[in-house]
Amino acid sequence: MPYKPLAELDMVKLENTSKVLCDLFKVSSLHPHQSQTGYNTLRGISTVLDIPTGGGKTLAFWYPLFYYWAPGNIDDDCQKIVLVVGPLTALMEFQAIGLAQKGNLAENKYRVTLISPEMATSSKFHSTVLSSDLFCNNIISLFLLPVVEELDEEEATSKCLHIEMMNVRIGRWHMYRAQRLKRPLKMDYTRDPWALLLMKLAGINSPQKAQQAFQQYMHESCETEILLAVTAHCQTSMEEDGVLKASKKTNTPFCTQVACELFTQLSATEQAALHTRAAADAKAAKEAYQKSLRHSPSKAPEDRQW
């Protein structure tokens, strides 16, 4: 009959499982996430294990097998199977070689089946393997290994910027089509509820009013001057025991208080320049908003949506 998850786990077996895994794979002890994944698998609980490369996913996979394993035991109850589905051939080969080096674990006694997603979904695999009573009665777990992109900082930043650009273009395209639909009716889209709803769904909101000079200063200097000032204040306010001294209670956030002090130290010319830049930014945002709603998407090669 098909394998049934365990309602209760044998504590003696669990202790022996950890000991054998540590001895065989030359580790001092198992991580909590490895043991917990093994517990969940034995009890039939679906588990998502999200840990970085080298975090020990392999031992979490093999844990259920060693729960049933005992030296020299050839009973049918010990002949369990773990099915691992992964898209990376090199990784699967590495796992197979590692298992072969461990001896009995991979010598048709305590079996691990490593297959690709293509094979797992093929009709041949279903007809020859999954239809086998011996296989289905002994399989105790299924592990899926997703592919995670390994990007350096520059690649990750470039990809994020591209996604943001595509999101903006998609929103503009939807709003352009909505405007084309509204034009024959000669409606003011700024007052039409349907058009406003489409704008929100497309992620396009009407531009805000121009910021005040102080708000523009917060926007421009938040990660430079203000951050440095806040960090310096925190360092000088620390007591000898490492506890930050209590400050005077106000309704204004601490960072805003620091920014306000820095802003008042600026000259009138610098404050006027901030006011001018705030007005220019607001004007540019309004023009971009109007253009995105009233003009068709760019067909230039450099703006192609690939």
Which tens digits make up the pLDDT trace of 104-153? Answer: 444 444 467 777 777 777 887 777 777 777 777 777 777 676 655 667 77
Is 192 in a helix, a strand, or coil? coil
pLDDT one-digit tens code per residue, 150-171: 677 787 788 878 887 777 777 7
The CATH architecture one would assign to domain 11-144 is: 3-Layer(aba) Sandwich (3.40)
Structure tokens at 182: 């509204």
Distance between CA 203 and CA 288 in Å, rounded? 14
- 96: exposed, middle or buried (Cβ count in 10 Å: 0-12, 13-18, 19+): middle
Sign of the dihedral defined by the CA atoms of residues 89, 91, 92, 93, in that order: positive
Domain ranges for the chain: 11-144, 210-306
| CB distance 33 to 56 below 8 Å | yes
pLDDT one-digit tens code per residue, 59-96: 887 788 888 765 566 676 667 777 877 766 555 555 55
| CB distance 140 to 42 below 8 Å | yes
